[in-house]
A and B are shown apart, each in its own frame.
Chain A
C-alpha cells in the first residue's frame, strides 16, 4: 500500500501497522491508512470498531504500542496533543470542548492567545479570526457568547479553533452525530471549501450516506483493523460499505420459527422523559396529555410518549441512530432515571419501584456499556456474578454474601457460557471483551428473568462470542423470555427480532416486520428520511 504512494505527492498522513492494546482487549490491530493531501478521507466502522482509539493515537492522546505515524512524509511520535498540533493536526471532537460562558473569540484563542505587553491582543485575534472565517466560509459572530449558539455554530467555532492553531489536517470525529440535515449540508459545504484551500480532512463516521456524499477516499475499519481502503469512485453503494463494516462472513442471526405467545410479559405505556430534569406531572392529568402539553410548550423530550408491549417468547427490536432516546428508555425501565408513564412486568405495575426491586422481580439487564454499567473491572469474576444479585440466591445468605455458592455458580456460568478464563478468582479486567460479555449474559440469564433488556449485546465482541450470545438469546426466547433488543447492528436487529420499532428523537415512529425489511429501508426510518407509519 505504501509503495505506490511514492509516485504521487507525499501523503498527508500515513499510518503503518498501528496496534494498541488495552487491558483485556486489542483496540487497534495493524491499522494501515494513507490519506492524500487536499482530500476528505472518511474512516468508517461500527461503534466499537476502534475508530476513536485510532483518532486518539493520531492526535497524540494515546501512544500506539506498535507501528509508525508519518505526517507529510516525516515520521513523528506524539507525546501529547500539543505535539500533534505542532505538526498541523487539529481535532474537532464529537462532544464540543467549549467554554459556554466565554465569547466565540475567547474560545477560539483560548490557550493560544495573542498578547501585547502581556495583555490579550483582541484586535489581532479578531483580525485573524475574520480572515480565517472569510477564507473558509465559516461565518461566526466573534462577540457572541457560546452558550447562545446553536449546535451548528458551535461546531464552526470548534473548526475555527483548530484552524486558528494552524492546523492543515483536520480530524472530525462523528461531526454529524449532533446535527440536523440542513446543518449537515452546511458542514459539508464548509469541508469542501477547506479542501479547496488545500487542507486535508479526516472524517470519522458510521453514517454511510453522508460518507458517500463527502468523502474522496474511504477506509473501512472492522474489529480494530483496517479491512478495506478505496477511492470514493470505486464504491457503488452504501450496502457495499455496510457489508465491509459488518463483515459479510458473519453468521446471520436468524431466528427460526416464531415463539411469540399471547401472554403479555412486559408493558410500557406513555413513557415520557423531559430533557431538563424530571418534574412531577400535575395530579389528575393523564401522562399523554401532560406529554402533549410539554410538547406544546416546546420542552425537549428525551422520550416522548413511548408505549409498547412485549409478549413471552418475543424479541422486540428497537432500531435507531444512537442518541435518539435509547439510553433513556433503558434507564427509565431500570428505574435509574425518573420518568412519567407506566411500566408493568406481567400484571404488576412497577413504575414506582426502585431498581433493586425491579431486578428482583425478574428484569435482566445487559447494559450497552459493559465497563461502565456491567462490571466491576477490579473485582473477581465471582464478585461480578454477585453484582445485581446481591439480594438473591445463590449469592445471598441472610445478611451475608454466600461466597462459596457464588463461586460455584460462577463456575457454572464459565462452563455453560464458555467464558475463557483461568478461574473465577481472576479479575474481570483480565478477560477479553467477548468473554466479559458472555459472563454478563450468563449472569443476567441466571436470575431466571422474565424480561431481559439486551442493549448492544454483541458490541465489540469477537465473531465466536457473537454467535454464542445470539444462540443464548434465541434459546431464552424459545423458553418464553421476553426481550427488548437495542442494537446498532441492523442485521442483528432484523435477524433476531420478532417485531422492530424505530425510535427517532425520543418517539417510536414506525413498527416494522423484520421479515420484509431491508437494512436500507430501516436506515431510512431511523434517520427520519422515511416518515413513520405510526400516528404522532
Chain B
C-alpha cells in the first residue's frame, strides 16, 4: 500500500472513531438533560413533513455549510504556518459591512457588480489581517492577542458603521438597522434549479440554495492548488513544519507571515458574502455572528486540508440545521453545541494519535524494507 494512502486511511479511521465516540458521549449528555437520545438523533434526520419544508431544510443545511467552509479555509491558511488567526471573526464582519456598503453605492452589470463586491470584501479582510501581521514581524506582537483585540475593535466598528456612516433607510416597524439595499444586479443567482433535477420542490426560505456555493467550491480548489502545488505553498508548508529549516533554506519568515495572514484575512472577507449576496441584500445588525470562531473548529476538524474542511463544514452545518427539529422533538437545542464541541475535542485527540501511529508505521516499514542495518553495528566493550 502506498505510504500516502496508508496515512489517509488512518486519518479517516481516526475521524470516524472520534465521531462515533462523540455520539456516545452526547447520548449521555442528552439523557442527563432529560431527553431521549434516539429522539434527538431522529431529529437530526428529520428535515420536515412537507416537501417544501424538506427542500428548505436541505437548502438551509447547504447554505450554512458554505460560510463555515470559507471560514475553515481562512483559518487553515494561518494554521498551516502555525499562525493562529483568531481574527477571522472580526475580519469577515468588517469586510461584510464595507463590501455591502460599497456595493450599494453604484449599479453595474451583474458580473461586474458582484466581482467588485467580492474584491472589496477580500481586500478589506486582507488589509485588516495585515495589521496583526505587521505588528508581529516588526514588533513581535503575538498574533493571537493582536487578532483577539482587533476582533473587539472590528465588532464595535461595524456596530457603529451600520448605525452611522453606512446606515441606510430603516423601514417603518423594523428594529434592525441596515446598510442601504444592494441593487438587483448584486444579487447572486440561486441554484434552486438543482432541486428540479431531483424532482424536488424549490426551497423558498433564505433565498433558496445560495449560488455562492459555486464560489466556495472554486475557492477551495484554488486554495488547494496554491498550498499543495506552488512554490508559495511549499514555503508555507516548510515554515509550518520546521521554521529554522525554512529560514536556512532561504524562506523569508517575515514575508511568509504577512502573505499567510493577508491570504487568510482575504478569504475571511468572503465569509459574509453568501448571506449578503444570496439572501439579505444588505448588512444589518442581525447579521450572522460567530462564523469566524466556528471556522477554527472546522479547520481543526478538517485537518487544515480543503477536502477535510469541506466535510467538517458539512458536518457542522448538518448539526446546526437540526436546532429547530430538536426543539420539536423536545430536546434542548444546545445539544448541538455539545456534540460539536465533543467532536472537535475528540478529533483533535484522534489526529494526534493517528499522526503518531502513522509516523511509527512509516518508520517500521522503512526499517523492515532495509533490514536491520539501521542499528549501530560495532559493539566492543
Query: Quick check: is A114 within 8 A (CB to CB) of the other chain?
Result: no
Q: Flag if B238 contacts A387 (CB, 8 Å).
A: yes
Least CB distance from A67 to B in Å reads: 14
Least CB distance from A93 to B in Å reads: 22
A-facing residues in B170-195 (Cβ within 8 Å): none
Out of A355, A357, A396, which one reaches B231, CB within 8 Å? A396
Task: Give A1 to B381 CA distance when docked, in angstroms.
Answer: 10
Per-residue CB contact flags for chain B residues 223-247 toward chain A (1 = under 8 Å, else 0) read 0000001111111011001101111
Per-residue CB contact flags for chain B residues 353-369 toward chain A (1 = under 8 Å, else 0) read 00000010011011101
- Within 8 Å CB of B246, what residues of A? 387
Query: Quick check: is A367 within 8 A (CB to CB) of the other chain?
Result: yes
Out of B231, B249, B376, B381, which one reaches A399, CB within 8 Å? B231
Task: Give A29 to B229 CA distance when docked, in angstroms.
Answer: 42
- Within 8 Å CB of A374, what residues of B? 245, 248
Q: Flag if B363 contacts A430 (CB, 8 Å).
A: yes
- Within 8 Å CB of B366, what residues of A? 421-422, 426, 430-431
Task: Give A390 to B250 CA distance when docked, in angstroms.
Answer: 9
Per-residue CB contact flags for chain A residues 407-445 toward chain B (1 = under 8 Å, else 0) read 000000000000011110111011110000000000000
8 more contacts with CB within 8 A, not counting A355-B247, A462-B376, are A1-B381, A23-B363, A24-B374, A32-B381, A357-B250, A375-B242, A383-B237, A396-B231
Give A396's nearest chain B residue, CB to CB: B231
Query: Quick check: is A227 within 8 A (CB to CB) of the other chain?
Result: yes
Q: Flag if B244 contacts A373 (CB, 8 Å).
A: yes
Query: Quick check: is B199 within 8 A (CB to CB) of the other chain?
Result: no
Q: Flag if A463 contacts B378 (CB, 8 Å).
A: yes
Task: Give A400 to B2 CA distance when docked, in angstroms.
Answer: 24
Q: In the complex where A376-B242, A379-B241 touch, is A401 in contact with B229 (Cβ < 8 A)?
A: yes
Task: Give A359 to B247 CA distance when docked, in angstroms.
Answer: 12
Query: Quick check: is A510 within 8 A (CB to CB) of the other chain?
Result: no
Task: Give A420 to B372 CA distance when docked, in angstroms.
Answer: 11
Q: Flag if B363 contacts A429 (CB, 8 Å).
A: yes
Q: Flag if B245 contacts A225 (CB, 8 Å).
A: no
Q: Flag if A401 contacts B234 (CB, 8 Å).
A: yes
Q: In the complex where A374-B248, A420-B370 touch, is A430 in contact with B376 (Cβ < 8 A)?
A: no
Q: Flag if B249 contacts A359 (CB, 8 Å).
A: yes
Q: Flag if A23 contacts B370 (CB, 8 Å).
A: no
Query: Quick check: is B373 within 8 A (CB to CB) of the other chain?
Result: yes
**Which of B247, B377, B378 has the most chain A CB atoms inside 10 A of its CB?**
B378
Task: Give A365 to B244 CA distance when docked, in angstroms.
Answer: 13
Give A24's nearest chain B residue, CB to CB: B363
Least CB distance from A19 to B in Å reads: 10
Q: In the complex where A379-B241, A400-B230, A429-B359 touch, is A355 in contact with B248 (Cβ < 8 A)?
A: yes
- Within 8 Å CB of B156, what residues of A? none
Q: Flag if A355 contacts B234 (CB, 8 Å).
A: no
Least CB distance from A435 to B in Å reads: 8
Which residues does A use to contact B, with CB under 8 Å? 1, 23-26, 29-30, 32, 223-229, 247, 334, 336, 354-360, 365, 367, 372-380, 383, 386-391, 396, 399-401, 403, 420-423, 425-427, 429-432, 462-463
Supply 26 A–B pairs (Cβ within 8 Å), ascending by A.
Answer: A25-B374, A26-B376, A225-B379, A227-B380, A336-B247, A336-B248, A354-B250, A359-B249, A374-B248, A376-B237, A377-B241, A390-B250, A399-B230, A399-B232, A401-B231, A403-B229, A421-B370, A422-B365, A422-B370, A425-B2, A426-B366, A427-B3, A427-B362, A430-B365, A430-B366, A462-B376
Task: Give A225 to B375 CA distance when docked, in angstroms.
Answer: 11
Q: Flag if A391 contacts B234 (CB, 8 Å).
A: no
Number of A-B contacts (CB under 8 A): 135
Task: Give A228 to B378 CA distance when docked, in angstroms.
Answer: 13
Q: Flag if B231 contacts A400 (CB, 8 Å).
A: yes
Q: Flag if B373 contacts A420 (CB, 8 Å).
A: yes
Q: Flag if A223 contacts B378 (CB, 8 Å).
A: yes
**Which of A23, A357, A373, A421 has the most chain B CB atoms inside 10 A of its CB?**
A373
Query: Quick check: is B165 within 8 A (CB to CB) of the other chain?
Result: no
Least CB distance from A122 to B in Å reads: 36
- Within 8 Å CB of B378, what residues of A? 223, 247, 463
Task: Give A39 to B35 CA distance when docked, in angstroms.
Answer: 70
**Which of B2, B233, B235, B374 has the most chain A CB atoms inside 10 A of its CB?**
B374
- Within 8 Å CB of A372, what residues of B? 242, 244-245
Out of B230, B238, B244, B377, which one reaches A462, CB within 8 Å? B377
Q: Flag if B245 contacts A373 (CB, 8 Å).
A: yes
- Within 8 Å CB of B327, what residues of A? none
Query: Quick check: is B251 within 8 A (CB to CB) of the other chain?
Result: yes
Task: Give A401 to B232 CA distance when docked, in angstroms.
Answer: 9
Task: Give A377 to B365 CA distance when docked, in angstroms.
Answer: 16
Out of B252, B359, B375, which one reaches A356, CB within 8 Å? B252
Task: Give A93 to B230 CA distance when docked, in angstroms.
Answer: 44
Out of B231, B241, B363, B365, which one reaches A376, CB within 8 Å? B241
Query: Quick check: is B4 within 8 A (CB to CB) of the other chain?
Result: yes
Task: Give A374 to B374 CA distance when docked, in angstroms.
Answer: 20
Q: Flag if B370 contacts A29 (CB, 8 Å).
A: no
Q: Flag if A376 contacts B251 (CB, 8 Å).
A: no
- Within 8 Å CB of B381, what residues of A? 1, 32, 225-229
Out of B233, B234, B248, which one reaches A367, CB within 8 Å? B248
Q: Flag if A401 contacts B362 (CB, 8 Å).
A: no
Task: Give A380 to B4 CA distance when docked, in angstroms.
Answer: 10
